[in-house]
Chains A and B, each alone.
Chain A
């Protein structure tokens, strides 16, 4: 059972809101022109972002795109060379920002020899909780992560999915208003993944702002209402899923055709017709499915053997491939 809207959680969330800022509340995350270089390599090249309260914001990017550096900058673990990052208006690293920000790292950053309860207790203390507030936070986390019956089990005895859930709970023990989930479903089975989705949805329903990074497009499509794609250290696209698809493909659908061996220059042939080719595969787009017949006729006239044809409505995967030229999971 997921109890994202548990009274205790809502109460503590609201308790962290600064009444003075209620009239003109600063956004949960404000990134302005952040640049970070490591020697000659520019990992983040002037990124600017602003995430509204209550949003679930997807951050996608291929490996080496600068996503991790940006995340670590938001966490205060990387100092940008220039630009600024503010959490609910407070500079990263400040006590206020630390209190408002929760981080669930990709790694299982928990103590393997401690029990679930002991881990949550430790991370709660690190976040400055104690006494009744800490006990309530632990109880809520165990309930939220569906680990109440395993509270006294050492982490090393848990399944992979349970460890992931505990990893998430440890990042939320202090009830932050902004949570950064860094690939929280890596290496878990589909059943556990669904449970994690439910946890994220419950969290979102409680009003928590979420930044979600993933390599799985279906996760971003299901959970995120706004998405940014980062490549070569820059945000190359940002918006809702539908807006991103429309911007890249309009109302057209993508077509993939595979051909048998041929002496015809497929790339030149596809280019003449407004498509592109990779080896024996041709990619193109059509406004209406009936337009596929024109492509098949043209192929027949050239003597090309068509092995299969796929028509697909563009999705995030298509957008990502279109914008970065890379598969997200590559």
Chain B
């Protein structure tokens, strides 16, 4: 008896493709995405932090430090913007350009190596005991990424230790000389010879290595080898840095579910015969799809508006100062998501099939696009893959408006991508909808 029940159940599962996909493909797919996001398949549990390097000191010590930071594997450090066709040899970052870059979201942090660093690079203990005023490093930070500054600060201390052996030894001997009472001439000669070797090694390390592009930042810390001050240059006056991120991220994810369900009304109408009746009236398939698209888009617009109003009410998101940008982003996001819903519905043959595949695609896009976990914990590869999702572009656009206070004209890339993708998907939906027309 139980055998018959099992047999019937397995046969039904095998023939229900939607249930089959949900049972096996979806869990494996998600496990894989999480694996990539958290780096377990890359042998590294921490994604690289992008940091912009500004050398205001321009001494051998500072150059050695820059080279060390560029080689640091946990950092994606850059001394200048990437070369482009228009600007094949970009100038090195200055404090001003690096700050602007952090503000615009190029990197979550910039490290300023201060003038005077080479003259008195490290100290043991606080300034008053070192006998000289230490120059203080500054980390310019986008507080939307709470990890970056901490990682950069830690890697700075580590790199100083690793790449400045001669400086370390020199400063150590001076400390020893001052605190213990001086070396004998023979001890001093031997120490000078050793320091000379170390300086030679350090100078060799200071030569720029071709192609190296790595780096990192710090937190307010005066107790390490180097003094570090962290300054938030984005969101310094804002509360809850992730609220606008997740209002957009979660909003877009559920928008896609809504659009998929709304688009599915086409399948309901097809199954009930209402679609035949509508199409045999004076309604064309293009008109019908356009009507459904506008309905989905309006529904999505209302959902996102409610989401952001709720964020303003409960989490004090500064909604009312950003209404023009919000309207632009919400309009283009709603259009793109509605087209996506139309496309899914036109591809599916049954409601069950639509439910299964839309769940798979939407959850995957949401995981890759940043709706489920913030991008700063993702690897570079995953972030690049995420650019194939609506979520990523929508989140980026809303962050520009609500977090970076950028003007509406800065939404050009997001608008171009979302509108183009929306149009392309609507055209594809229309193409696939031919199955409902005359045969």
Contact = CB atoms under 8 A, between A and B. Distances in A.
Interface in A39-60: none
B285 to A, nearest CB: 12
A108 interface: yes
Given A103-B277, A109-B277, A127-B281, A77 B438 contact: yes
A106 interface: yes
Contact of A98 (B276, B280, B439): B280
Contacts of A170: 277
B272 A95 contact: no
A95 B282 contact: yes
Given A76-B438, A79-B439, A127 B276 contact: no
B282 A78 contact: no
B273 interface: yes
Contact of A107 (B273, B280, B282, B438): B273
Nearest to A79: B438
Most buried by B among A99, A106, A109, A110: A109
27 contacts: A75-B276, A75-B280, A77-B279, A77-B280, A78-B438, A79-B438, A79-B439, A95-B282, A98-B280, A98-B281, A98-B282, A99-B282, A101-B280, A103-B277, A106-B273, A109-B272, A109-B273, A109-B276, A110-B272, A110-B274, A123-B277, A123-B278, A123-B281, A126-B278, A126-B281, A170-B277, A174-B281
Contacts of B438: 76-79, 93
B277 A108 contact: no
A8 interface: no
Interface string A97-128: 01101010111111100000000000100111
Interface of B: 272-274, 276-283, 438-439
Contacts of B276: 72, 75, 77, 105, 109
Contacts of A95: 282
A213 B272 CA distance: 19
A66 interface: no
A78 B317 CA distance: 55
A171 interface: yes
A78 B274 CA distance: 16
A101 B280 CA distance: 9
Given A95-B282, A126-B282, A171 B277 contact: yes
Q: Which range contains the number of A residues in contact with the other chain?
A: 20 to 34
Nearest to A112: B272
Contacts of B273: 105-109
A99 B281 CA distance: 8
Nearest to B274: A109
A99 to B, nearest CB: 8
B280 A76 contact: yes
Contacts of B280: 75-77, 98, 101, 103
A76 B273 CA distance: 14
Contacts of A174: 281
Contacts of A93: 438
B2 to A, nearest CB: 38
B132 to A, nearest CB: 79
Nearest to A103: B280
Most buried by A among B277, B279, B282: B277
B437 to A, nearest CB: 8
B14 to A, nearest CB: 27
Contacts of B279: 77
Contacts of A128: 281-282
Interface string A128-158: 1000000000000000000000000000000
A93 B283 CA distance: 11
Contacts of A108: 272-273
A106 B281 CA distance: 16
B399 to A, nearest CB: 38
Nearest to B276: A77
Contacts of B278: 123, 126
Closest 7 CB pairs of A and B: A107-B273, A109-B273, A126-B281, A109-B274, A109-B277, A105-B273, A79-B438
A75 B279 CA distance: 10
B62 to A, nearest CB: 71
Contacts of A101: 280
Interface in A167-217: 170-171, 174
Interface string A223-255: 000000000000000000000000000000000
Contacts of B439: 77-79
Nearest to B282: A128
Given A78-B439, A170-B277, A127 B282 contact: yes
A101 B273 CA distance: 17
Nearest to A173: B281
B283 A126 contact: yes
B55 to A, nearest CB: 67
A174 B282 CA distance: 11
Contacts of A106: 273
Contacts of A109: 272-274, 276-277
A78 B272 CA distance: 18
Nearest to A170: B277
Contacts of B283: 126
A74 to B, nearest CB: 10
B15 to A, nearest CB: 23
B282 to A, nearest CB: 5
A184 to B, nearest CB: 13
Nearest to A180: B280
A111 B278 CA distance: 11
Most buried by B among A103, A126, A128: A126
Most buried by A among B277, B280, B282: B280
Contacts of B274: 109-111
Contacts of A77: 276, 279-280, 438-439
Nearest to A108: B272
A272 B283 CA distance: 62
Contacts of A79: 438-439
Nearest to B438: A79
Contacts of B282: 95, 98-99, 126-128
Contacts of A76: 280, 438
A99 B273 CA distance: 19
B281 A105 contact: no
A171 B280 CA distance: 10
Given A98-B281, A107-B273, A128-B282, 17 more contacts: A75-B280, A77-B279, A78-B438, A78-B439, A79-B438, A79-B439, A95-B282, A99-B282, A106-B273, A109-B276, A110-B272, A110-B274, A111-B274, A123-B277, A123-B281, A126-B278, A127-B281
